Amino acid sequence: MEKKGTILSGMRPTGALHLGNYFGALENWVRLQNEYECFFFVADYHALTTGYENTDDFKDNITSLLVDWLAAGLDPEKCTLFLQSSIKEHAELHLLFSMNLPLSWLYRCPTYKDQISQMKDKNITTYGFLGYPCLMATDILVYKADFVPVGEDQLPHIEMTREIARRFNFLYNTEVFPEPQPLLTKAKVLPGLDGRKMSKSYNNTIALSDSPDVVKKKIMSMVTDPARIHKTDPGHPEVCSVFAYHKLFSESIINEIEQDCRKGEIGCVACKKKLAENIAQMMTPIYERRLEWLKRTDDIRDIILEGNKRARVIAERTMDEVRKVMKIDWI
């Protein structure tokens, strides 16, 4: 099949993926691998920008991320999976971009300002963290990606990538770098178990690595509409996280659940049981494939070695062009 262009995206290996990550990104990647030439990579350099102090879990986190990807359906026959730090061209291009990247662009970046004020407990007032968007631009441009599927929070980084490409092309009077487009999908938003944003730091996640039993327990302990004390009390699904989950997992019976809740004809326990069943139906196959891949870490290593090889060919080709137009190819 004719592919619709090149796609590149990455995730930082920061621990087990949760359902929020799955619906926000991974599910979409699995679909995209059929339509585009896709490169998906583990952004381990990026993980260092905020987590440089303790790298003890680093390798386990990378393995766990790859296991999640493969279990969710990324297929190394259809897409290229690789490790950022294996391709040294990322580091080289990052250095070269840093020579002409105005500091004001980096200080102005909204994600930089947000993170600096949010992560007061971590010392991230570093050169590396300030350069996060520069590194991300490198990832994208070294493969000359046409499209970058990301969440809305990453849009400023894509915009800066386009500016970095434009600036480079202008300075060296070249057309080496095309300007990539973000690929925003209507991501399905799944709140955390407590109704806030699903996030590891809130301890309100369902991980892809949670066993079906654990998932069930988590669902059964969710807080529902506080106005309902008796089963027959009329409920307000709009304030209930269980209902928000049903919207994603129980599409075919969603109207029925809403009406039964409002009329006080279904109890919260029964309602949650139904949800737990539907979630299990979707998650159990992923969980089982996860267990299989966990036994095959040598094969996963081979998959990455192979992906690295494919990625490297492209990155090396781009760097040859870059050195040539910058005249740093004396030898």
- In whole angstroms, the minimum distance from the beta carbon of 213 to ligand SF4 comes to 20
Sign for the CA dihedral angle at 314, 316, 317, 318 comes to positive
The answer to the question of residue 215 lying near ligand TRP (CB under 6 A) is no
Pairing type for strands 181-183 and 147-149 reads: parallel
Write out the E strands in 150-278: 181-183
- Footprint (CB under 6 A) of ligand TRP, residues 46-85: 46
Q: Which 48-77 positions form the footprint of ligand SF4 (CB under 6 A)?
A: none
In whole angstroms, the minimum distance from the beta carbon of 278 to ligand SF4 comes to: 13
Query: Out of ligand TRP, ligand SF4, none, which partner does residue 136 contact, by CB within 5 to 8 A per kind?
Result: ligand TRP
CA distances 240 to 98, 189, 209, 259, 282, Å, are 48, 15, 25, 14, 21
Positions in 88-147 near ligand SF4 (CB under 6 A) = none
Question: Are 18 and 191 in contact, with CB atoms under 8 Å apart?
Answer: no
Q: What is the DSSP string of 46-89?
A: HHHHH--S--TTHHHHHHHHHHHHHHHT--TTTSEEEEGGG-TH
Task: Enumerate residues 6+ apart whose C-beta is below 8 A from 182.
Answer: 147, 148, 149, 150, 154, 155, 158
- The answer to whether 279 contacts ligand SF4 (rule: CB under 6 A) is no
Three-class SS state of 95: helix
For residue 158 the two structure tokens come to 């894509």
43 binds, among ligand TRP, ligand SF4, none (CB under 5 to 8 A by kind): ligand TRP
The strand order across the sheet containing 37-42 reads 80-83, 37-42, 6-11, 147-149, 181-183
From 6, 9, 250, 308, residue interacting with ligand TRP (rule: CB under 6 A): 9
Paired strand residues for 7: 38, 147
Tell me: does residue 139 bind ligand TRP (CB under 6 A): yes
| Binds 228: which of ligand TRP, ligand SF4, none (CB < 5-8 Å by kind) | ligand SF4
| Residue 24 contact among ligand SF4, ligand TRP, none, beta carbon within 5 to 8 Å by kind | none
Contact track, ligand SF4, 245-274, x by CB under 6 A: ----------------x----x-x--xx--
Q: One symbol per residue from 153 to 182: x for binding ligand TRP (CB under 6 A), - otherwise; what is it?
A: -x----------------------------
CB of 236 to ligand TRP, least distance (A): 34
Query: Which residues are at the interface with ligand SF4 (CB under 6 A)?
Result: 224-225, 228, 235, 237, 240, 242-243, 261, 266, 268, 271-272
Query: Which residues are at the interface with ligand TRP (CB under 6 A)?
Result: 8-12, 43, 46, 136, 139-140, 148, 150, 154
